Structure 1
Amino acid sequence: MKTYRFFKRVWSYASNFFKKLIFLFTGMPRQATHLWEKLVVRLAQSLLFILLIVISIDFNLFNLFGPSPRLFDLQNPQNNAASVLYAADGSMIGRYYHENRSPVTFDQLPPVVINALLSAEDIRFYHHHGIDVKATTAAIFSVFKGDRRGGSTITQQLIKNLYKTRTGDQKGLLQKIPGIDIIVFKAKEYISSIKLETLYTKNEILTLYLNTVDFGSQSFGIKAASNTFFNKPPEELMIQEAALLTGLLKAPSYYSPVSNPDHALRRRNDVLTQMLRYEYINKQQYDFLTRLPLSLKFNHYKEEEEATYFKSAVARELKTWCMSSGYDIYRDGLKIYTTLDPVIQEHAGMAMKKHMKSLQNKFYQHWQGREPWVDANGRTINDFIENLGRQTPAYKSWLNHYANNGDSALKALSIPHKMTVFSWEQEIDTLLSSLDSIAWYAHILNTGLVSIDPSNGYVKAWIGGNDYRYFKYDHVNQARRQPGSLFKAFVYAAAFEQGMGPCDRRVDQPIRIKYTENGEEKIWTPKNANWVFTGINLSLKSAFARSVNSVAVQLTKEVGWDKVIEMAQRFGITSPLLNLPSIALGSSEVTLLEMVNAYAALANRGEFNDAVLVTKITTHDDKIIYMHQHRPRKILNAENSFLMENMLRSGLSEPGGTTQGLWSFDLFRYDTDFGGKTGTSSNFADGWFVGITPRLVTGVWVGGEYPSVHFRTSQTGEGLRTALPLFGLFMERVMQDENLKLFRGRFPSPPAKVTKPYQCSSPAYVPRDADSIANSGIAPAQ
């Protein structure tokens, strides 16, 4: 009653006000005497009142009605579109989106789609100006008859879809009154529809609509829907397929051909009936088409299937660019062109699966009867799984639930529930508790692989882990681990820059280094990996090939470990490096990408390129908004870079070289040079290998997700046994692929002026157990 009296009073005041205005502007007497005069007054009053209401609603007077789309909004509709990620060969390898949508132009819309849409949604679309009075009147009467039907035009639906006119933040004060909200919603949509019709042609409105609507199954817009349900572009849709898609618009879930095929078939035939009624098809076509099955070719984009490590890495890479440019890769429908070679990527994936499946079986056998999480002394770490459980969001949630009672929270994590877990054989549907799940994954070794063209830094393959669906953490550029002997390359590069050369000699003997750490005087006495010092006077070339720790540490002492750090940073290492003599043996944690990028410079005659993932970005209409600029920089002179390249190749030719395992792979009949370096961290927690060729530099890391999980012996856990074989399998596939001949080749001849000898005689090989800082006294990272 209060609402009724309020509006009655408003109408009374407004009527009197408008009556005075009419008398003032028309010159009519203050008191209308003739019937026609009274009708004119009443009509004018009504029209002026409606105008006042329209203006009040459109401008949201006193916040009574909620905001309406402004003219700028209508002229610049924000229609979220998916950005597409392309490989180097132009093939699509992923998409970024909040809503899976790819816009089309009107020319790409076939007549069958338009005809089906008009028949199903708005047959008088080309004859009204945003509001279909006949359909609206019919809709009002249908409510009273109990047979409610829609009366919204395509334009009104577009307004509702584009500007979310019925969401909570669009409501005004009056819309809190029951019954008033729908009137205000409709009024706002009517007003905005009329304005939209003045700004766009009918064809433009149809195009906007078909690029906007939700077809279900996470498909927004006709192009995404056509691809999702029929695996074809809109231009190739058949009449019955167009009828099915437009029929979905009424209720995408209820009429889904995937989950409710019977409903979808009935709705499709209803649309075909409408098309027959409006003579878009004839009776013969109708009879034939209604008997056809749905014949889906469902091609649903699943986020977890699309979200590869490389796709996620590109998104991280572009985060800063997006902030500075104002573009949003999840909204703006960009085209992102990358360096990834899909053929090389496939070879990397196949090699990884073959090797890691085999290595995992060896790991299970290695630890049979024992848990693999151990401390530096090989003792099982008590409460290892429980401590990991305490770091999970689920534990923190239960902790809040149980008023900070940790025992109760852990007990909740011990309750079994259904889940699917990773296995190299196949996914396993099982019943496990959260703690059981943590233990399951703690037993699994993981990996990272990245392959780069050293001439320009272009990333050709990127494997961030076993399987993105189960292991989201990227071991190429997110994980930091101790690189072991891989770091020796920077020691020898720094030594060469200070005048030393491959044929200079050092005795393999014990060494003591005094240094200061946090104000405390300390002495470091590193050991060789096998705890044996041979006393042999080794050439630096032989010491590097055999990965002798004592020689690398002697050189570090001579040149200064600060110079080794400076050299590493010059080669693109940006991870924090400890200013300690143990840096020579890779005691600081780095990423795989950093190490591979550094070694790429050694394979490129000392010329460094930043790793490149993206070469170009354009808008949906091919306007270039980003283009990679190739800016190499020289970080090592021609002679020293040649000598370092020669050192990396020496592991294959020097007796006892750590890369000799490559000879067991089919690599050396393709007119291609190879080199590389292995690395193993403390207690065999991390196995590394970086292999070089003139056209590809590839790095591999293998280890447990936690440094406390690892092999126990050099025969099983060092890099030449965990990481090198994956490189060998990968490059074997690349070499054997006749379509990848571009990636074969020899290193260039030595530069004209090589003043330092580099062809030295080598002593007989002394058997060794490992190749890195294993057993060197450096504490493993926990």
Structure 2
Amino acid sequence: MAKKKTAKTNSSTVDFSKYVRWFWMLFLGGILAVVLLFLLASWGTFGEMPDHTKLENPETNLATEIISSDGKTLGKFYFNDNRTPVGYNDLPKNLVDALIATEDARYYDHSGIDGRGTLRAFFFLGKRGGASTISQQLARQLFIGVRDKESTTNALFQKIQEWVIATRLERQYTKEEIIAMYFNIYDFGNNGDGIRSASRIYFGKEPKDLDMKESAMLVGMFKNSSLYNPRRNPVGVKNRRNVVLAQMHKYEYISEELKDSLQATELDLNYTPESHREGTATYFREYLRGFMKEWADDSKNRKPDGSKFDLYSDGLKVFTTIDSRMQKYAEQAIAQHMPRLQAEFDHQNTPDRNKTAPFLELTQSEVNKLMKDAMRRGERWRILKNKGKSDKEIEASFQKPTEMTVFKWIDGKAGEVDTVMKPIDSMRYYKSFLHPGMMSMDPLTGHVKAWVGGMNYKHFQYDMVKQGKRQVGSTFKPFVYSTAIDQLQVSPCDSFPRTPITIEANKYGNPESWTTKNSDGNYSGKQTLKDALASSTNTITARLMNEIGPQPVVEMAKKLGVTSEILPVPAIALGTADISVYEMVAAYSTFVNKGVYNKPVMVTRIEDKNGTVLYQVAPESKDVLSEQVAYVTVNLMEGVTNAGSGRRLRHKGFDKWNAVYREIITGYPYEFNNPIAGKTGTTQNQSDGWFMGMVPNLVTGVWVGAEDRAAHFKSIHYGQGASMALPIWGLYMKACYEDKTLDVSKGNFEKPSGLDINVDCTVKDEGDLGGNSGQDDDDQVDIDF
């Protein structure tokens, strides 16, 4: 019996040992299987894995950043990714705290994989929270992306890849670097790629300036930026933000009182879209795009591997001369003046008052031809032509009502209206708009400080700073005067008769004789050159032209940087040439800069994403005039703002004018009392209005006019440069002077030593100030101020 019992016991022991062996075999086999899975994942069996080089330099598209002279971001160039990375030190503590409290509370205690969170997710099937750490989420964003999660196998393989890459990231980077990378890689929607873009787009500020509730909202969007989009789903986003605040309280980052007070607040968005057609300095940015394309195409500007730089993905930094403050004031001045001017223009050009509105002096047949020509030049015609449509079919398409969105000034602000309109009617509608062009430049350095090529780039993309060229009217006269001073040594105080003068045919190659007129019909007496320029007296300008001839004037303009074609005929004295705002500002700057021409500079340097300098500007300058001639020319133009068509800059208002006119056009109390030199210009029929204004360290040119010369004010009171363009200059300069962080001069223009040309015209010559009405100009000053 004893032997049998012993045998039975031994048999039981053997059976138990077998289970133990199976347990260890399964346990060790499971571990080996897990290790094998991780090895297979690291070898790329389940999908491509990043090598050491890719981990060090993750492939992310970085936008090219445009930086102002005062260190602000003006805009970016990008295709899909509007991303500009920031360092950990640029992230506020409350933003980092919100991320850790919400996404990975044990972030600083693990090495890429949260074991406790993983077990919790496994046992509760994710119902009590996921297990993805910040490092895993970064791994997914950088190297894996979103895959098909409908398959459990695919989901498992993806998770294993995440674990492997997360641990590698933890070895490669510090915790702080991983957090910065995570914020930089995420797409927050609405072109908000990365925390910097998102912060600027949703709140109009840099990440370092985000407050607690703003940080909580952005961190809340990590859950799903498509679902939690603050523009489409503000209620959901607010609820999600409050969850983040609750998490911050849970992990003792904020007090309960602060949590409750913040949860009761609204989102308070300051939506500031960053797109190529919106934002600050849109016209300048488009010019810059062309500049950068030429730079990148140059074989001298290549990457170390010989490939071209990509403007949209290589993360270049372009440092410009534009001052963000001055650019803002320039855009604000245009936005303030243009709606008022347009309202008066529309009031005068209703179909009842003008049957060919907005055109004047045209017959209906001429209007039809103008519209047909415009139709053939348009984008719609080009697209339909490429599709094989006949001319007849294309013309018929312009008569079919179509849904569209058009630009409109709404309550004095730029806006849009959805409407149904025939394309031909929309073309005519857009031809009724007056357009501005404005550029501001430091004459001492050539640095362009502000550039506004129009009033709304989204709807009007033609740049009236550099692309557009229009007749310059009397703003050309300083070129005539400076040539006369240079060649004849005339003084601003020298007097000339106002009587008509005829330049005979063939004297300077002109086919027929040319006679000028003065608008007020006053040809008696004499007038000093200073008074003549102030009042734009055509007959005296013609006398100077008769003495020196047109060819020296053309040569002078060319030396001053004007590249546009100028015919050497006497009529150029009154501004018949088409010249851009860009050229005019550079030319006038030469007068202020003591006769030295500086080619305008817009870009000072270009850096790659690592800060390596790829381009450094080499300023271009040349001597054009003697310091004495330049100063005397400026002194002549000071008379324009002291006693001529620009003197409204000195007044509080115009009490003798009717209140409506004063409010719409000129009701701005400038009250400047500092030295200002300038020149107004108005072309034939008031088609173009100009004002060139100068102080010792800033020259600014403004042009206003319609797309077609046939669209213009009927009255000189509204259509002259002093009414159309000068107010923009005045508003801009007033804002610049009020900004104490700017150093815009209020001092005198520097007088050269040894000046031997008399500029002190203390004794008035006989003759009243008069206006003119010539072939192409007419700055009227016969209005009672």
User: Which of 224, 240, 246 in structure 1 is aligned with 2:219?
Assistant: 246
Aligned residue number for residue 71 of structure 1: 52
Q: Specify the code of the residue in structure 1 equivalent to 2:454.
A: G
Contact 2:690 2:721 in 1 (8 A): yes
**How far is 1:70 from its partner?**
4.6
Q: 1:73 to 1:318 in 2, by over 3 A?
A: farther
Q: 1:285 to 1:146 in 2, by over 3 A?
A: closer
After superposition, the C-alpha distances for 1:5-64 in whole angstroms (9 at most, x for unaligned) are xxxxxxxxxxxxxxxxxxxxxxxxxxxxxx9xx99xx99998999799668748xxxxxx
Equivalent residues in 2 for 1:323-362, closer than 5 Å: 323=296, 324=301, 326=309, 328=311, 332=315, 334=317, 336=319, 338-340=321-323, 342=325, 345-346=328-329, 349-350=332-333, 353-354=336-337, 357-358=340-341, 360-362=343-345
Q: 1:614 to 1:124 in 2, by over 3 A?
A: same
Q: Specify the code of the residue in structure 2 equivalent to 1:574.
A: T
The share of aligned pairs that are identical, in percent, is: 28
Residues in 1 aligned to 2:326 and 2:742: alpha-carbon distance in whole angstroms: 9
More off after superposition, 102-111 vs 716-725: 102-111
Aligned residue number for residue 369 of structure 1: 354
Q: 1:374 to 1:584 in 2, by over 3 A?
A: same
The reply on whether 1:391 has 2:377 as its aligned counterpart is: yes
Gaps of 5+ in 2: 1-21, 303-308, 654-668, 779-785
Q: 1:91 to 1:49 in 2, by over 3 A?
A: closer
Residues in 2 aligned to 1:272 and 1:652: alpha-carbon distance in whole angstroms: 60
After superposition, the C-alpha distances for 1:694-745 in whole angstroms (9 at most, x for unaligned) are 3443322111122232234545433344334544555566678888795222
**How far is 1:649 from its partner?**
3.1
Aligned residue number for residue 270 of structure 2: 299
Aligned residue number for residue 509 of structure 1: 501
Equivalent residues in 2 for 1:279-678, closer than 5 Å: 280-281=251-252, 285=256, 292-293=263-264, 295-303=266-274, 306-309=279-282, 312=285, 315-316=288-289, 319=292, 323=296, 324=301, 326=309, 328=311, 332=315, 334=317, 336=319, 338-340=321-323, 342=325, 345-346=328-329, 349-350=332-333, 353-354=336-337, 357-358=340-341, 360-362=343-345, 364-365=347-348, 368-372=353-357, 374=359, 380-398=366-384, 403-404=389-390, 406-407=392-393, 410-411=396-397, 414-417=400-403, 419=405, 421-423=407-409, 425-426=411-412, 427=415, 429-433=417-421, 434-502=423-491, 503=494, 508-514=500-506, 523-528=511-516, 530=518, 534=523, 543-549=532-538, 552=541, 555-556=544-545, 559-578=548-567, 582-613=571-602, 633-651=622-640, 658-659=645-646, 664=651, 672-678=674-680
User: Which of 747, 759, 766 in structure 2 is aligned with 1:745?
Assistant: 747
Q: TM-score, normalised by structure 1?
A: 0.73
The reply on whether 1:96 has 2:76 as its aligned counterpart is: yes
Q: 1:242 to 1:540 in 2, by over 3 A?
A: closer
Q: Specify the code of the residue in structure 2 equivalent to 1:523.
A: P
**How far is 1:152 from its partner?**
5.1
Contact 1:448 1:474 in 2 (8 A): yes
Aligned with 1:246: secondary structure? Answer: helix
Contact 2:101 2:244 in 1 (8 A): yes
Residues in 1 aligned to 2:776 and 2:232: alpha-carbon distance in whole angstroms: 57
Q: 1:102 to 1:728 in 2, by over 3 A?
A: closer
Contact 1:307 1:468 in 2 (8 A): no
Q: 1:291 to 1:126 in 2, by over 3 A?
A: closer
Residues in 1 aligned to 2:743 and 2:776: alpha-carbon distance in whole angstroms: 37
User: Which of 761, 764, 769 in structure 1 is aligned with 2:767?
Assistant: 764
Aligned with 2:75: secondary structure? Answer: strand
Residues in 2 aligned to 1:237 and 1:633: alpha-carbon distance in whole angstroms: 48
Q: 1:56 to 1:382 in 2, by over 3 A?
A: same
Residues in 1 aligned to 2:745 and 2:262: alpha-carbon distance in whole angstroms: 55
Aligned residue number for residue 62 of structure 1: none
Residues in 1 aligned to 2:34 and 2:528: alpha-carbon distance in whole angstroms: 101
Q: 1:772 to 1:726 in 2, by over 3 A?
A: farther
Residues in 1 aligned to 2:248 and 2:748: alpha-carbon distance in whole angstroms: 67
Equivalent residues in 2 for 1:679-690, closer than 5 Å: 679-690=681-692
Aligned with 1:692: secondary structure? Answer: strand
Aligned residue number for residue 31 of structure 1: none
**How far is 1:327 from its partner?**
8.2
Aligned length, in residue pairs: 716
Contact 2:444 2:593 in 1 (8 A): yes
Q: 1:294 to 1:643 in 2, by over 3 A?
A: closer
After superposition, the C-alpha distances for 1:495-529 in whole angstroms (9 at most, x for unaligned) are 3333352438586312234399xxxx961433425
Aligned residue number for residue 664 of structure 2: none
Q: 1:508 to 1:160 in 2, by over 3 A?
A: farther
Q: Specify the code of the residue in structure 1 equivalent to 2:632.
A: L
**How far is 1:361 from its partner?**
0.6
Residues in 2 aligned to 1:651 and 1:231: alpha-carbon distance in whole angstroms: 42
Residues in 2 aligned to 1:662 and 1:581: alpha-carbon distance in whole angstroms: 32
Q: Specify the code of the residue in structure 2 equivalent to 1:213.
A: Y
Contact 2:503 2:546 in 1 (8 A): no
Residues in 1 aligned to 2:270 and 2:674: alpha-carbon distance in whole angstroms: 42
Aligned with 1:497: secondary structure? Answer: helix
Contact 1:81 1:331 in 2 (8 A): yes
**How far is 1:317 from its partner?**
7.9
Q: 1:261 to 1:191 in 2, by over 3 A?
A: same
Contact 1:360 1:444 in 2 (8 A): no
Q: 1:345 to 1:752 in 2, by over 3 A?
A: farther
Aligned with 2:184: secondary structure? Answer: helix
Q: 1:424 to 1:67 in 2, by over 3 A?
A: same
Q: 1:158 to 1:291 in 2, by over 3 A?
A: closer
Q: TM-score, normalised by structure 2?
A: 0.73
The reply on whether 1:693 has 2:695 as its aligned counterpart is: yes
**How far is 1:357 from its partner?**
0.6
Contact 1:165 1:189 in 2 (8 A): no
Q: Specify the code of the residue in structure 1 equivalent to 2:232.
A: S
Aligned residue number for residue 656 of structure 2: none
Q: Specify the code of the residue in structure 1 equivalent to 2:87.
A: T
After superposition, the C-alpha distances for 1:150-169 in whole angstroms (9 at most, x for unaligned) are 765533432343357569xx
Q: Specify the code of the residue in structure 2 equivalent to 1:159.
A: A
Gaps of 5+ in 1: 1-34, 59-64, 168-174, 776-782
Q: 1:236 to 1:569 in 2, by over 3 A?
A: closer
More off after superposition, 215-224 vs 591-600: 215-224
Q: 1:203 to 1:564 in 2, by over 3 A?
A: same
Residues in 1 aligned to 2:233 and 2:671: alpha-carbon distance in whole angstroms: 58
Residues in 2 aligned to 1:681 and 1:580: alpha-carbon distance in whole angstroms: 17
More off after superposition, 613-622 vs 587-596: 613-622
Aligned residue number for residue 16 of structure 1: none
Residues in 1 aligned to 2:596 and 2:144: alpha-carbon distance in whole angstroms: 54
